[in-house]
Amino acid sequence: MTPRLVLIPLLISMGLANAAAWAQDKGTVDPKPLPPLANPNDPKIGAKELFGRKVLPAAMPTRVLGFYAHGCIAGAEGLPINGDTWQVMRLSRNRYWGHPDLVALVKRLSEKAHKDAGWPGILVGDMSQPRGGPMFTGHASHQVGLDADIWLTPMPNRKLSRNEREDMSAVMMVRDDRLDIDPKVFTPGHLAVIRAAAQEPTVQRIFVNAAIKKALCREARGDRHWLSKVRPMYGHDYHFHIRIKCPPGSGAECEGQPDPAESEGCKPADLAYWFKDSVLHPKPPATPPKPKPPMTMASLPASCKAVLAATDAKP
């Protein structure tokens, strides 16, 4: 099974009902540090327990280790929490870290959102933890510093308070019946920002809700080649997800994915699956599935142990 085929069942098994809620989970301006682990060397311990306790990146040269949904990153860079054209949300999660190429991309995209969409800027959601790895909440991927969530809500024309960054909600883009976008809130600016992201050569995939994909297919004018990168996915109705390729020079330790098919993915048959009633309104299983044991260090590349053990990079 190729890594790409592994990802979708992973996302599904994490619970669709929660998918939309994750992006909206509120944080706190006063996050409590996690208590120390009694047995940090226990091989059965969840890797999220270990990575979730790292506050700063590993002081090592930048290396992407593993796959989007099972890996880590050494030498990650932090996105500054304020820029002229971006602000980071949910600071308490400490997930504004990534490969320097991803950080540069987010900055560049924020300028394009300003120029092309007329937005004051973008609101940035989750990227990765300081050393990547699995997380306590929210994502199967985002583990190697190559994924970033961008809110589908423009940055307001002022600096948000710490409290607002934990509390503010993004705007739901999808209509109540889930069959299309809500035209009152989905604007040409949204299309322009998603297009700008998709036109970046290093971006390999963008995930949006199927209703948003449908709207992009209908409304895109001129060059439509970028639509092939925009893939329907559960959730992603308040934010979109950018995934970049393994950066040049990464070597085999960065496990990439094949490029998506060249076609726009706009034919009714391409989207039919996502609008089936069983997908829009899944029935809860008769017997709830057993919770899966958490991913342990054995599921991650062996070199992620060194990333965990490394000293903190300078703040």
Contact positions toward Zn ion, by CB under 5 A? Answer: 149, 241
Q: Whose CB is nearest to Zn ion?
A: 241
Residue 149 has φ and ψ, to the nearest 5°, of -100, 130
Closest separation in Å from C-beta 129 to Zn ion: 13
231 vs 241, beta carbon nearer Zn ion: 241
Closest separation in Å from C-beta 71 to Zn ion: 15
149 vs 264, beta carbon nearer Zn ion: 149
Name the residue among 158, 213, 223, 215 with its Cα closest to residue 188. 215
Closest separation in Å from C-beta 9 to Zn ion: 17
- 229 touches 203 (CB < 8 A): yes
208 vs 220, beta carbon nearer Zn ion: 208
Closest separation in Å from C-beta 241 to Zn ion: 4
124 vs 313, beta carbon nearer Zn ion: 124
Closest separation in Å from C-beta 265 to Zn ion: 19
65 vs 148, beta carbon nearer Zn ion: 148
Q: How does 270-303 read in b/e, with b if 16+ C-beta sit within 10 Å?
A: bbeebbeeeeeeeeeeeeeeeeeeebbbeebbee
- 70 touches 135 (CB < 8 A): no
- 186 touches 196 (CB < 8 A): no
The set of residues, in sequence order, having a beta carbon less than 8 Å from that of 196 and lying 6+ positions away, is 109, 112, 113, 116, 117
